[in-house]
Amino acid sequence: MVHLLAVAVALLSSFKSFSVNAQIAAKKPLVITTTTDLAWAAREILGDAVEVRSLLNGREDPHFVDVRPDYVAQVAQADVVCAVGLDLEVGWLPKVISKAARREIQPGGRGYCDFGSRIQALDKPLQQVDRSQGDVHPQGNPHYWLSPSVLAQASREVIDATERVRPELKGKFEARYSEFKRMMLGLEARLKARLVSANITGEQARFAEYHREFSYFARSFELTSHDTLEEKPGLSPSAGRLGKVATGLRRDKITIVLAARTAPTRVIQKFEEISGLKVGVVSVSVSQAPGSDVETYPQLIEKIIDTLIAVSEKNAAKLR
Amino acid sequence: MACSVVFFAPLCSALADTGGLKTFVAVDLVGEAFVRSKVVSPREVEVRGVEVFFLAPVDPLFDAAVGIAAHPENGVSLFELHEATLSSSKLIPHTQLRMGKGFLYIGKLNRIHQHDWPFIDSPEVQRSFFDDEGVNDLLLEVTVNTPTSMPFEATAGVAKGWVYGHAHNEGKRPQVPTHYSRVQTFFDLPLGGALQVAGNYLGRTASDSVQTQLFGVDLTAKWREGRRVPLLLQGEVWLRRVKAPQVDREDALGMYLFPQMNLLDSLDFGIRFDQFSVLTTEDALGESIDISSYRIVPTLTYKPSEFSTFRIAYAWDLKRRGDATPNVTNSSLLAQMTYVIGAHPSHEF
């Protein structure tokens, strides 16, 4: 009788473990990214083999985000958690991950993926950084996703992380990743040609930006950042600073001024009044929120290029 | 290389600070001048608190925090231990463990340091039920976050309970130690807002058989646009029930509500409404009578960065007895300056 019971228990437990394993294998791995741009890239590369969700909706400024309990709940379900990295999310993501309380997705865990670790960061401070210099990122500029080629390079990280948590998927994403890289380089080349045909080259390719977030974008599209409206990163510029930048831009005949949609509207309006120049206010992240005109990454980059050309033409007429 | 030759390896690594040690110091300076006062004499400007914190992972499983704080007491500021906790979010999935000396994870103000509060002074409910700054004790605490689409967090803890609140003696062994729980959930609100709401319970039976129970709700609603928080709403409601042997039960109800709106990039304006009532007060004839106190505190905050804050506020204290109209008993002007140097960790929602 005892033997029979033991056999029954063993059979039941092996059946149970088989069904649990089968469930795990059948369930798609869940990849959670901090931003919509990483989510778009992850979906393109990983396809239907995984479920991808983004914590942010593309309308927030990823520097300033609250430790929302719904982020904690989402991260707690994730197999892979992907960050832009380079300290962009340092103010909130470590706490979200810590509260989700799962060892696998914490930094160093097999499900943690840092896109920024794959790239050569620009604007890395050469001297020691402190808070008197504003919100400087000691590891370099984190806004690399606005360069199609750099985003393609960084996106390799999501494949490695997914394969670490699901070794059975190893090698299944290589073809899609190659296609993704080709698409991103094609996008970059096509839009670069548009800038050339719009005569935005050489001296005409100089631009000013509200916050230094177009460095990688500028390198990809052969533009030169001339100045920033912010005197110190993360701090609202004074009227005096805006006046100084405006004078410099008019003197040097700079026709392109760009700002992210998250930049303070009041400051941008003030700058337009002072300088008489139009600022191209653009989305800097993909958004699938209702009413968004940048639902995919190619749409996002094309929209920035369109705005840049339009602003350049408008301001050139004013400065003539 | 020289390091490994000269020093014993662990010492060498300590000198190189490869242990991930982060430190911060927070200074909280306040001043209060009574414009109209019946009882209290004007207070001078004083450093209300200086907190020095050290945080680091201990090993792959545990993190530690050690905090010492100085507060003025009888004209002298002496540093004392505020926090010495070991915590882990890696031992049990979806579960955070915290043990050691610290503030109990209960309510809203009790969970955050005073220099991070959105207003200057302590609401009456916080002063009366949580001894001003908060209840700090030797504790063992478990917090579970459920991996569900509806965010849900539950905390249960037990604290030594020999003393309650801020005390400089060792107290007495309680009959039932301080035990507490908090259950929190979270909702999206229209126009990009979010609401966190929690139910709380705390209980303790002291050595002299006085039984204290606290029931409370705390809420935080926020609308954020980049660095700005156009609208913040924070509040707590607590009911305290105290039962001593041979004495009638005493119930007291206290609450505060603080709506704050952003005026300009770094400038916020909020008004705090406090109310505090002892529900079981009786008059000379043994009739139940409502005696309530109120405080209204409009507050202007200038916060150029998340590391420095300047506040100015005006407070009116009112008292009401029975059905009579509330009378202003005190009014005062308050000012505050706080700053943080070092690596301050992120705040909760």
For the segment A148-159, what is each residue's pLDDT rounded down to a tens digit?
999 999 999 999
- The tokens for B90 are 């890696």
What is the reported pLDDT for B295? Answer: 97
Look at A6-15, A226-235, A246-255 and tell me which has the smallest mean pLDDT: A6-15
Which structure tokens are listed for A197? Answer: 């045909």
pTM of the model: 0.89
Q: What is the pLDDT of residue A12?
A: 44
Comparing CA positions, the residue from A299, A296, A304, A284 lying closest to residue A59 is: A284
Measure the CA–CA gap between A218 and A298, rounded to whole angstroms.
16
Average pLDDT over residues A256-269: 94
Q: Which residue has the higher pLDDT, B12 or B231?
A: B231
Q: What was the pLDDT predicted at B65?
A: 97
Min distance B230 CA to chain A CA atoms (Å):
12
Examine the pLDDT at B14 and tell me if it is beyond 50.
no
Chain A: residue whose CA lies nearest to B95 = A101
What pLDDT is recorded for position A169?
Answer: 95
Q: How confident is the model at residue A26 (pLDDT cuts 50, 70, 90)?
A: low
> Cβ separation of B93 and A102 shorter than 8 Å?
yes
Domain ranges, ordered by start, for chain A: 27-119+137-180, 198-319
pLDDT band at A260 (very low <50, low <70, confident <90, very high): very high
> Which of B63, B87, B88, B89 best tests the A interface by mutation, with the highest count of A CBs <10 A?
B89
The 10s digit of each residue's pLDDT in B115-126 is: 999 999 999 999
Q: Is A106 left (phi over 0), alpha (psi -120 to 50) or beta?
A: beta
Is residue B304 within 8 angstroms of chain A, CB to CB? yes
Give the span between the Cα atoms of B222 and B203, in whole angstroms. 30
Whether residues B89 and A235 touch (CB distance < 8 A) is answered with no
**Mean residue pLDDT across chain B:** 90
- Its sign, for the CA torsion A36, A39, A44, A49, is negative
Q: How far is A308 from chain B (nearest CA, A)?
A: 23
Q: Using 50, 70 and 90 to split pLDDT, how confident is the model at B39?
A: low
Contact of A95 with chain B, judged by CB distance below 8 Å, is answered with yes
CATH superfamily entry for domain A198-319:
Nitrogenase molybdenum iron protein domain (3.40.50.1980)
What's residue A20's pLDDT? 44
Least confident range from A19-28, B156-165, B325-334: namely A19-28
Which residue of chain A is at minimal alpha-carbon distance from B225?
A60
CB contact under 8 A, A91 and B346: yes
Residue matched to tokens 């504003």: A134
Put the strands of the sheet holding A206-209 in their side by side order: A224-228, A206-209, A256-260, A280-282
- Give the burial string for A67-78 (b: 16+ CB within 10 Å, else e): bbbbbbbbbbbb
ipTM tops 0.90 = no
- What distance in Å separates residue B264's CA from the closest CA in chain A? 9
- The fold of the A27-119+137-180 domain, in CATH, is Rossmann fold (3.40.50)
**Which of A55, A58, A78 shows the shortest CA–CA distance to A67?**
A55
| pLDDT number for residue A15 | 43
Contact indicator for B161, B137 with CB cutoff of 8 Å: yes
Give the integer Cα–Cα distance in Å for B334 and B75: 19
The region of weakest confidence among A293-302, B226-235, B239-248, B277-286 is B277-286
Helix (H, G, I), strand (E, B) or coil at A49: helix
What's the DSSP call for residue A280? E
- For residue A235, list chain B residues with Cβ-Cβ distance below 8 A: 304-305
Chain segment B55-80, per-residue pLDDT in tens:
999 999 999 999 999 988 877 888 99
Give the DSSP letter string of B214-274. Answer: EEEEEEEEEEEETTEEEEEEEEEEEEEEEE-TTS--EEEEEEEEEEEEEEETTEEEEEEEE
pLDDT computed for residue A170 by the predictor: 95
Nearest Cα to Cα of residue A257 among A284, A228, A236:
A228
Distance CA A203, CA A187 (A): 24
- The secondary structure of A175-239, three-state, reads HHHHHHHHHHHHHHHHHHHHHHHCCCCHHHHEEEECCCCCHHHHHHCCCEEEEECCCCCCCCCCH
* Lowest model confidence (mean pLDDT) among A260-269, B10-19, B89-98, B177-186: B10-19
In which band, very low, low, confident or very high, does the pLDDT at A13 lie, cut at 50, 70 and 90? very low
Do domains A27-119+137-180 and A198-319 share one topology? The answer is: yes
